[in-house]
């Protein structure tokens, strides 16, 4: 018998305000056409004043609990992947834990920027297969709108706010790739690339700071590294691109998403794409896409899914799971 971390429920939350590309045309030297053509983004959701990352996370968590038919007290461990926690500390995860009424277990944040959900999913899997936890909720929640320099057209048009949540629970498998649950993962980071994507503020400056990105450089790394890590994770699972039902990629840029799919020899009909509606929601983008993909009827029980992401650090990786 092999212990597997099996998906039990999924949910998401998006702030009410939708900001279409055209809104940028009033304040910046940009166009709806440029943003669509270069990124695939058409609109994004923006958190209301006072609406925080933990608020978004709680709403997504409640949706996932309802989907799973569970109560917060049924969860042993809660991980929030975020780079935009409400405060330096406590963690967003402990704030969400309290708001959900989860009085036992433990909660902590994972900070791997846009790759945060992939890292958190690997961590949740480790907790379950080691027997340390039976049910783990993994949330990706971000308010990147608060990190934007709204005068920088090369970054502020790219990002949005949102949250998604996945509940994993221990299940018995046979130890083969036919099992449901997390089958393999592949994680990397290389801190030498810190300058190409970073926030120029924090405890050392006494400010929140703004996101700064050398877009072309990040693009180059993304196209090269995402297919590589996805292949490595599939290899570890004893599978190949031909076995994939859905790629559920980090949603940063449609050109990166399609270049990665092409390198994996997976047709775009087998890729869950939400970037047009959400923009880049950093660690929230994959759980949002999983939840939306499930709601659209794309992702079904038994489907083989590959998630992959890259972000600041650089940090990148992929997870292979059977839904
Ligand atoms: O989630 C973390 C990972 N992040 C990413 O994956 C983002 C990776 N990078 C990208 O998605 C792309 O590099 C961008 C979308 C950021 C930029 O697209 P690009 O095709 O690489 O454009 P570029 O940076 O080479 O810029 C081309 C031109 C420049 O003008 P010049 O120098 O050729 O005159 C930019 O100043 O486009 C200009 N530009 C814009 N023009 C209109 C940059 N932003 C805009 C804009 N509207 N919003």
Same domain, yes or no: 18 and 160? yes
Q: Judge whether 140 and 131 are in contact, CB under 8 Å.
A: no
Q: Would the pTM of this model clear 0.95, i.e. be above it? A: yes
Active site residue 280: yes
CA of 203 to the centre of ligand 1 (A): 29
What is the pLDDT at residue 309? Answer: 98
Ligand 1: does its nearest atom lie under 6 Å from the Cβ of 108?
Answer: no
- Which one of 119, 140, 173 terminates a domain? 173
Residues 298, 161 within the same domain: no
- 155 and 185 share one domain: no
Which of 29, 35, 154 has the most ligand 1 atoms within 8 A of CB, as the residue to mutate? 154
Same-domain pairing of 140 and 220:
no
Give the residue ranges of DSSP H helices in 177-253: 215-237
- Same-domain status, 169 and 288: no
Claim to verify: residue 187 and residue 72 sit in the same structural domain: no
Q: Do residues 215 and 91 both lie within one domain?
A: no
Q: What is the CATH number of the domain that holds 29?
A: 3.40.47.10
What is d(CA 289, CA 306) in angstroms, rounded to the nearest whole number?
12
- Specify whether 156 is catalytic: no
Indicate the number of domains in the chain. 2
Q: Which of 173, 206, 240 is the last residue of a domain?
A: 173
Side-chain half-sphere exposure of 223, counting CA atoms within 13 A? 12
Q: Residue 65 is part of which domain span?
A: 2-173
Predicted confidence band at 36 (pLDDT cuts at 50, 70, 90)? very high
83 with 199, same domain: the answer is: no
Q: Where are the alpha helices (DSSP H) in 264-298?
A: 275-278, 285-295
Q: Do 206 and 133 share a domain, yes or no? A: no
125 noted as active-site residue: no
pLDDT, tens digit, 9 for 90 and up, residues 170-225: 999 999 999 999 999 999 999 999 999 999 999 999 999 999 999 999 999 999 99
* DSSP result, 25-92: GGTSS--HHHHHHHH---EEEEPPTT--HHHHHHHHHHHHHHHHT--GGG-SEEEEE-S--SSSSS-H
Which run of H or E residues covers position 13? strand 2-13
48 and 152 both lie in a single domain = yes
- pLDDT level of residue 315 (50, 70, 90 thresholds): very high
Check pLDDT > 90 for residue 1.
no
Residue where a domain terminates, one of 128, 152, 173: 173
Q: What is the pLDDT of residue 316?
A: 98
Q: How far is the CA of 148 from the centre of ligand 1 (A)?
A: 15
Ligand 1 contact, 221 CB (< 6 A): no
pLDDT tens sequence across 69-81: 999 999 999 999 9
As a whole number, mean pLDDT of residues 159-173 equals 98
| Domain match, 220 and 245 both | yes
How many CB atoms are located within 10 Å of the residue 173 CB?
19
For the Cβ of 216 lying below 6 angstroms from any atom of ligand 1, the answer is: yes
> Is residue 5 within 6 Å of ligand 1 at its C-beta?
no
Same domain, 129 and 266: no
What whole-number distance in Å separates Cα of residue 195 and Cα of residue 203? 17
Catalytic residue among 21, 125, 253, 280: 280
């Amino acid at each position: 018998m092999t212990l597997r971390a099996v998906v039990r429920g999924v949910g998401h939350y998006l702030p009410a305000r939708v900001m279409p590309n055209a809104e940028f045309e009033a304040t910046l030297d940009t166009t709806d056409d440029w943003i669509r053509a270069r990124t695939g983004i058409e609109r994004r959701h923006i958190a209301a004043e006072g609406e925080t990352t933990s608020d978004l996370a709680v709403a997504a968590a409640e949706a996932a609990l309802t989907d799973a038919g569970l109560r917060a007290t049924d969860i042993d461990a809660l991980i929030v992947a975020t780079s935009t926690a409400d405060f330096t500390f406590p963690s967003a995860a402990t704030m969400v834990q309290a708001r959900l009424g989860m009085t036992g277990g433990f909660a902590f944040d994972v900070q791997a920027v846009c790759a945060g959900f992939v890292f958190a999913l690997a961590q949740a899997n480790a907790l379950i297969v080691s027997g340390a936890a039976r049910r783990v909720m993994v949330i990706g929640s971000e308010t990147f709108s608060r990190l934007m320099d709204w005068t920088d057209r090369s970054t502020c048009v790219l990002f949005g706010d949102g949250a998604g949540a996945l509940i994993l629970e221990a299940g018995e498998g046979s130890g083969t790739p036919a099992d449901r649950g997390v089958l393999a993962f592949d994680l990397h980071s290389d801190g030498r690339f810190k300058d190409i994507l970073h926030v120029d503020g924090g405890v050392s400056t006494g400010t929140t700071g703004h996101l700064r990105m050398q877009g072309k450089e990040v693009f180059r790394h993304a196209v090269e590294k995402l297919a590589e890590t996805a292949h490595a994770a599939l290899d570890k699972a004893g599978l190949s691109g031909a076995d994939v039902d859905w790629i559920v990629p980090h949603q940063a840029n449609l050109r990166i998403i399609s270049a990665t799919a092409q390198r994996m020899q997976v047709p775009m009909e087998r890729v869950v794409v939400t970037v047009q509606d959400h923009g880049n929601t950093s660690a929230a983008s994959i759980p949002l896409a999983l939840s939306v993909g499930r709601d659209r009827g794309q992702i079904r029980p038994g489907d083989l899914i590959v998630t992959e992401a890259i972000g600041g650090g650089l940090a990148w990786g992929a997870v292979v799971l059977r839904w």
